[in-house]
Structure 1
Amino acid sequence: MLKKTFIIATLFQAAAFFGQQYGGMWIPTEINEKEMKSLGMKIKAQDIWNTEKPSIKDAVVQFDGGCTAEIISPKGLLLTNHHCGYDNIQSHSTVENDLLTNGFWAKNMDEELPNPGVTVDFVTDIKEITQDILGNTSSLSGAELTKKINENIDAYKKSQKIESYQSIIVRPMFAGNKYYAFVVETYKDIRLVGAPPQSIGKFGSDTDNWVWPRHTGDFSMFRIYADKNNKPAEYSKDNVPFTPKHFLPISVKDIKENDFTFVFGFPGRTNEYLPSVAIEKIITDTNPARIEVRDIALKTLDEKMRADDATRIKYASKYASVANYWKKWIGETKGLKKSNAVAKKQAYESSLVAKNSEIKSSLDEFKKLYDQQAPYALNNAYYSEILRNAETLTLANQFYAFVQNYEAGKVDDKAVKGFKNRLSGFYKDYDGELDAKVTAKLLALYANKTAPEFLPEGFTQFKDVNQNLQVLENWSRNSVISGRNSVNGATVYSNIDQVFSNLPELVKTLKADPIYQTLTKMRETYVTKADAQYVGLQSKIDALQKKYLAQMMATDTERKFFPDANSTLRVTYGKVKGSNPADAISYHYETTLDGVMEKYVPGDYEFDVPQKLIQLYNTKDYGDYKNAAGKIPLAFTATNHTTGGNSGSPALDKKGNLIGLNFDRQWEGTMSDINFDPRFSRNIMVQTKYILFIIDKFAGARWLLDEMKIVK
């Protein structure tokens, strides 16, 4: 008990020092204004969210369904991360015209590049609709409850009058104890305006990802276009730059430690209210499995990407995506251990039980369910990660679903066309020969790490990596799936329409393909022996989580609760802070251009530096962007509670001016998705001074700055 008391006391001491005990990702209509003002905010909650007049929310959008972006001019100019625009920069790149390496800057609006399929979403209204969704469900549970909730959501959406370019998204909060409706407006004509070369926008690449100190100019620029009435429209040469209700002024004032900041964006997923047993399973079981799979895939890809430019360009975005969460899970596991997350949760759970004895039965039930689920969860982690990272198996899995639908009579011309389009997009950046090596190694991992009861019959033949490399290369060379063999007289690369011209022949060929057969055995064994059990137990865990969170909120009446992130619009806040992540290690809150030059390695794909940037540094041609010390400030850290999806989010000062662009978290604090700890949890932002310095002095795109409102 002494140990638990000490842990709780330590946590409260940290909270008192930082002013943030639990972090927070607040729904904009319910922000914690009192605490924000106590930390230094000078504007009002109505300045952040207001449906009656322009407010900051009118300048914040979800970018392409995943990241966040903000409007920084009256002509619809968007700012987001370089890594958020990476796919689009890559799509415009070729070996001959490599925009990833060289960067891109339109000289005027006529040179801005269209990006078919890219969208931005504005949230125009938010309402709590719990009674509409749960009002007639108190006597229901399980499948009946789920069915009724879905019916109520559909009924609510149908009851609302919206425009053709609007949609309504309904999301559960607090593990399903509350429901909210978000009215969304979607714009579809989004054009690339500018991006620095990846030696700036991705400086440090995978080595520096998730870590501090950081020197990455992680930004890119787009523009929203609309029809002549300023309404959403498909791409057209006749469209005009969008006129926003509000755009963000950009501050170039020096940033100081303890300055108030807040971040507005679309955080993806957090699990702040998990019981201690769930965190323990993440640390010991599922995270290590996922890390192990991606470690093998990344090392195999990296070897060829370093040796071949065409492969580097083709796999650049995919590699970054795989590496992102691989490194995040490593840091998360390390942080959960260092912050004593399990012990803290256990201490908090004991304090809850002391106030409400009914909570003990919920905790006991959690222990039983998570222990029952553990072997299935581990198999799920290996199986899902291998199918995701062995692209040949990913393709085989897609073909499997197609064959099943075809044999069930569910495939028509529209389905065939849609499937071909998806495949064409996949094969565009796929190398069957390279992925045969990845698949060979991951099959060996699955054969060696999976419990015998979850393995397909005869799967032990894949335990030897060297043997797999020979077998998979032979299979890949003769496979339609890998794109290296033909069916109906063509390959998927030469003529995908011809490949699908005779569906019975295609299906026959696929079912004889050893890659297809291997995937079939893996999939059917997993579905039979693990998936139903895993999903069934997870449904029970989810129902118990809803009950437990309701008990927690009713019992801990002094705590102000915020809902877990779920890709809906949120506000988080904190202070500019350095950190002390380990014994004898102290991090300053700010980095400068000096650090880029200290890390510079000529010719290195992660740490090379453009000659023009070196020249600007050597001549100290900094213009108005240097700080009081005469340096160019680059990035800074603060205690804002962020996660994936907050990439590209605006970092704002006490008056609502843009001071930075959120792009990452400090490695030691990535456990904040599960356990926010104010001692270690830091978000990382590129400063507006550095962004403007690159646009102006490096790119010579002064015309873009002329659109902006710059606060000096």
Structure 2
Amino acid sequence: MHGRFHGVCRARDGVAPQVHEQVGGEGLKLGVGTGLCHGTNVVEPLDPSMPLGYLGRMKTWTWKGALALCLALVASAQTSAKEGMWIPTLLKVVEGDMHAMGLKLTAEDIYSINHSSLKDAVVHFNGGCTAEMVSAEGLLLTNHHCGYGQIQQHSTVDNDLLTDGFWAMTRAEELPNPDLTCTFIDRIEDVTERLLAACEGLEGEDREARWKEEVAAIVKEATEGQGLEGEVVEFDYGNSHFLITSKVFRDVRLVGAPPSAVGKFGGDTDNWVWPRHTGDFSVFRIYADRNNKPAAYASGNVPYTPEHHFPVDVSGVQDGDFTMVFGFPGRTEQYLTSDAVEHVIERLNPMRIAMRDEGLAVINAARASSDALRIAYAAKQSSVANAWKKWKGQNRGLTELHAIDKKRTLEAELNKVSGSQVVQDIAALNAQYFPFLEARSLFIELAYYGPEVLNYAHGFSALIEGKAEGEERESLLARLRGAEDGFRRDYDAGVDERLLGRLVEEYLKWVPTNLAPDGLAAEVSSAGGGMAWADKVFAKSVFDNADDMAKLLESDNPKSWKKLAKDPAYVWIESLRANYFAEVAPEYGRLRGEIAAASAAYTQALREAFPDRVFPVDANSTLRLTYGKVEGSAPYDGMQYNPLSTARGILQKYVPGDPDFDMPARLVELLKAEEYGDYANEEGDLVVCFTGSNHTTGGNSGSPALNDMGHLVGINFDRSWESTMSDILFDGSRCRNIMVDIRYVLWVMDVYAGAGHLVEEMTLVQGR
């Protein structure tokens, strides 16, 4: 399982004995992807807020938005069931196709605003993952990697929940998690026509102002006095807009988590890989006030009673079974033009991979040096490594599928059929845009995935510059004092210094010269290189010193804060940020808006020119449903993947002492004895994971995998490495999502952990 090899393999769990090449895989879906318009998904302050900045230029196509969206769905339903992430309100369009594939429910059973439906059991977990309700008492399941940060926060060297796992045997033992949210969708409504009618005849700033007014009115009407939150979200590059209202719960407690040897079994080696044997799940409970309404954490809160929870089907899945995945996929980029895909392959991904190569080298060495650093940098290592491995697989997949050539062929066909010049327009914009995209991506890698002291120092800017006064100042001080212990707990100055040195050197290799901070290259060179330069920064900074910062926060002397304006760490992060926001962000935002507007015209032109082809609507972190079947794959010549993996494969991969493949002794004993309890399949095997042809992406982590009756059969957590290009180009013959089988989840809880009371709380059914 380790590394890469060629040759004839023994028959291994999940893989038929074939001559094949073994390659690596996926994992955590949070973090940075390529994002809208071939950009990087990072919320403000990195993204200049431009949802409306190009509306004045959209009058020639936006009026057809809702119709174009429906036509796109109709075309997709007629030609492909596996590609696409479907908006729940429009499921009637694909209902017939889903029935033909085996679904026994109606579209109304899946999404309804008139009665409880499947959507009422689907949770947006902390804004980046998905979860599902599995009991009438607020119990939910999500991925281990989605709850990893919370598990880490409750871990210490003496009480290491990451290593040992955690199971609350009573409600009193459940652990609160400040700032963790769970969101339920109330309803989704198309408001495109209302917005367009409100702005009819207006141009430019007048149109933009009126649009904002109408959006605010729509949200207020839908939420005021209802205990709901709301937003209007654009779809399809602004061709349509939907109102989404939701309920947000903020008292969410950790109930259970397997040891990392289960929840992360396979580690980075198996990340994005099939066959997989990872028990990637964790258990939380939502609490509400005594009226079942969202409330802040309080000891008097009670378990939330959801409108629907999923029955759990313990009969399992078989090859060919219908499946659907319900969740909040983040971003797909199916409409990147050929030049943008070429830029991803040749420039953007290589530079980001190189930056993370340097960061991972430092973090991995630190984690290997002590248990304290292993725990402190666990979540950061996972976050950095996840996209790093994905980008590698994405480049390979796009190259092997000849993605650039396929895009060029489509563009040539469009030009021939319609005479549209929109592709040429986008190419001209991209030529201007790419340098700013590169500078922005590198800034993110350095400032947000690099040394932590930089953002920490920036957090004091209002105090240092004297901008915070009165109550605002007191509030800021309280937040900084409250955050200090948390920051120091998982921080090591030596690791941070090495990160700064290595990443600055790599940054300077890639950043467009005219978009780098003035004098940085010369400063680093004169210091003797990145490491020597970083040593000077840290030697004279107080931000990496816990005692010095504690004294400053306690004394709160304005003169002392002003002196920090010359602190080298503060000076450098502020200069880096100032350069980004002055030289990069404005043009990046302007060009991104221009490209988004042109992309709206491009998608519309494609649908009008080729009405019988599939042009699905890109994901945008809103609730979607994707469907397919339990299926294996044959991604390369001579390689055949079975769709199910079993507990035998865990033992085959087991390597005592290996950080990715070690296991607790009790787990080894139970698996060797084949003590599977009531969770074995008809052949006597304990199924661990399975693959399907559902079109998923980041954000679908933790999504419920449902069968033809809407019963829970698994938890989505990954894609195969051969599928990582599916955000840009989906191939139904090779793209597979990976789900942990619900029977393995229950087995770990019940047989391994002795937490059978959690299983008893669920509604178990036998579907076969």
Q: With structure 1 as the length reference, what TM-score do the two structures score?
A: 0.91
Residue aligned with 2:273, SS: coil
Q: After superposition, what is the alpha-carbon deviation per residue over 1:123-169, rounded to whole angstroms, capped at 9, x for unaligned?
A: 11111111222323355566554443322211211233544531112
Residue equivalent to 2:562: 507
Residue aligned with 2:761, SS: coil
Paired with 1:153 and 1:257, the residues of 2 have a C-alpha distance of: 46
Q: After superposition, what is the alpha-carbon deviation per residue over 1:542-583, rounded to whole angstroms, capped at 9, x for unaligned?
A: 221122223233333224654321111111111111111222
Residue equivalent to 2:46: none
Q: After superposition, what is the alpha-carbon deviation per residue over 1:414-465, rounded to whole angstroms, capped at 9, x for unaligned?
A: 3443455456544442222211001001111122333332332252342599
Distance 1:495 1:552, change over 3 A: farther
Distance 1:503 1:23, change over 3 A: farther
Quick check: 1:441–1:465 contact (8 Å CA) kept in 2? no
Aligned residue runs from structure 1 range 535-684, under 5 A:
535-559=589-613, 561-684=615-738
The correspondence for 1:470, drawn from 506, 516, 532, is: 532
Quick check: 2:278–2:740 contact (8 Å CA) kept in 1? yes
Q: After superposition, what is the alpha-carbon deviation per residue over 1:397-417, rounded to whole angstroms, capped at 9, x for unaligned?
A: 444576457299996333443
Residue aligned with 1:591, SS: strand
Aligned residue runs from structure 1 range 71-220, under 5 A:
71-140=133-202, 145-163=207-225, 165-220=227-282
User: Which stretch of structure 1 is more off in the superposition, 37-46 or 645-654?
Assistant: 37-46
Distance 1:272 1:423, change over 3 A: farther
Residue equivalent to 1:389: 449
Q: After superposition, what is the alpha-carbon deviation per residue over 1:457-479, rounded to whole angstroms, capped at 9, x for unaligned?
A: 25234259974323423431431
Quick check: 1:67–1:84 contact (8 Å CA) kept in 2? yes
Report the AA paired with residue 710 of structure 1: L
C-alpha deviation, 1:481, in angstroms: 2.3
Residue equivalent to 1:491: 548
C-alpha deviation, 1:491, in angstroms: 2.4
Paired with 1:72 and 1:175, the residues of 2 have a C-alpha distance of: 35
Q: After superposition, what is the alpha-carbon deviation per residue over 1:506-533, rounded to whole angstroms, capped at 9, x for unaligned?
A: 1322x22222233344333444443333
Residue identity (%): 41
User: Which stretch of structure 1 is more off in the superposition, 440-449 or 653-662?
Assistant: 440-449
Paired with 2:382 and 2:526, the residues of 1 have a C-alpha distance of: 29
Report the AA paired with residue 430 of structure 2: Y
Residue equivalent to 1:412: 473
The correspondence for 1:66, drawn from 125, 128, 135, is: 128
Distance 1:496 1:244, change over 3 A: farther
C-alpha deviation, 1:637, in angstroms: 0.7
The correspondence for 1:28, drawn from 81, 88, 92, is: 88
Residue equivalent to 1:487: none
Report the AA paired with residue 631 of structure 1: D
Report the AA paired with residue 668 of structure 1: E
Aligned residue runs from structure 1 range 287-302, under 5 A:
287-302=349-364
Paired with 1:541 and 1:251, the residues of 2 have a C-alpha distance of: 46
Quick check: 1:433–1:473 contact (8 Å CA) kept in 2? no
Residue equivalent to 2:104: 42
Distance 1:543 1:686, change over 3 A: same
Residue equivalent to 1:367: 427
Quick check: 1:447–1:463 contact (8 Å CA) kept in 2? no
Residue aligned with 2:573, SS: helix
Residue equivalent to 2:40: none
Instruction: Give 5+ residue unaligned stretches, structure 1.
Output: 1-14, 485-489
Distance 1:21 1:454, change over 3 A: same
Aligned residue runs from structure 1 range 274-313, under 5 A:
274-313=336-375
Distance 1:185 1:496, change over 3 A: farther
Paired with 1:377 and 1:167, the residues of 2 have a C-alpha distance of: 33
C-alpha deviation, 1:325, in angstroms: 1.1
C-alpha deviation, 1:344, in angstroms: 1.6
Distance 1:407 1:232, change over 3 A: closer
Distance 1:75 1:410, change over 3 A: closer
Quick check: 1:639–1:682 contact (8 Å CA) kept in 2? yes
Quick check: 2:462–2:468 contact (8 Å CA) kept in 1? no
Residue equivalent to 1:685: 739
Quick check: 1:22–1:676 contact (8 Å CA) kept in 2? no
Report the AA paired with residue 248 of structure 1: F
C-alpha deviation, 1:316, in angstroms: 0.9
Paired with 2:189 and 2:744, the residues of 1 have a C-alpha distance of: 38
User: Which stretch of structure 1 is more off in the superposition, 334-343 or 456-465?
Assistant: 456-465
The correspondence for 1:695, drawn from 749, 760, 764, is: 749
Report the AA paired with residue 230 of structure 2: I
Distance 1:522 1:243, change over 3 A: closer
Quick check: 1:22–1:677 contact (8 Å CA) kept in 2? no
Residue equivalent to 1:12: none
Q: Superposition RMSD on alpha carbons, in Å?
A: 2.4
Distance 1:446 1:142, change over 3 A: farther
The correspondence for 2:377, drawn from 291, 315, 339, is: 315
Distance 1:408 1:78, change over 3 A: closer
User: Which stretch of structure 1 is more off in the superposition, 452-461 or 622-631?
Assistant: 452-461
Report the AA paired with residue 508 of structure 1: K
C-alpha deviation, 1:116, in angstroms: 2.0
Quick check: 1:355–1:555 contact (8 Å CA) kept in 2? yes
Paired with 1:232 and 1:524, the residues of 2 have a C-alpha distance of: 40
Quick check: 1:440–1:465 contact (8 Å CA) kept in 2? no
Distance 1:345 1:401, change over 3 A: farther
Paired with 1:403 and 1:550, the residues of 2 have a C-alpha distance of: 50
Quick check: 1:20–1:574 contact (8 Å CA) kept in 2? no
Q: After superposition, what is the alpha-carbon deviation per residue over 1:333-379, rounded to whole angstroms, capped at 9, x for unaligned?
A: 2111112222222222233233321x2x1111111111122222222
Paired with 2:226 and 2:563, the residues of 1 have a C-alpha distance of: 44
Residue equivalent to 1:9: none
Quick check: 2:323–2:705 contact (8 Å CA) kept in 1? yes
Paired with 2:417 and 2:466, the residues of 1 have a C-alpha distance of: 54
Distance 1:346 1:608, change over 3 A: same
Instruction: Give 5+ residue unaligned stretches, structure 2.
Output: 1-74
Paired with 1:161 and 1:448, the residues of 2 have a C-alpha distance of: 50
Distance 1:521 1:110, change over 3 A: closer
- 1:439 to 2:494 alignment: no
Report the AA paired with residue 555 of structure 1: A
Quick check: 2:465–2:562 contact (8 Å CA) kept in 1? no
Paired with 1:704 and 1:464, the residues of 2 have a C-alpha distance of: 61
Distance 1:632 1:495, change over 3 A: farther
Residue equivalent to 1:377: 437
Aligned residue runs from structure 1 range 347-366, under 5 A:
347-357=409-419, 359=420, 361-366=421-426
Report the AA paired with residue 61 of structure 1: V
Residue equivalent to 2:8: none
The correspondence for 2:305, drawn from 237, 243, 246, is: 243
Q: After superposition, what is the alpha-carbon deviation per residue over 1:186-209, rounded to whole angstroms, capped at 9, x for unaligned?
A: 122211111110000111111111
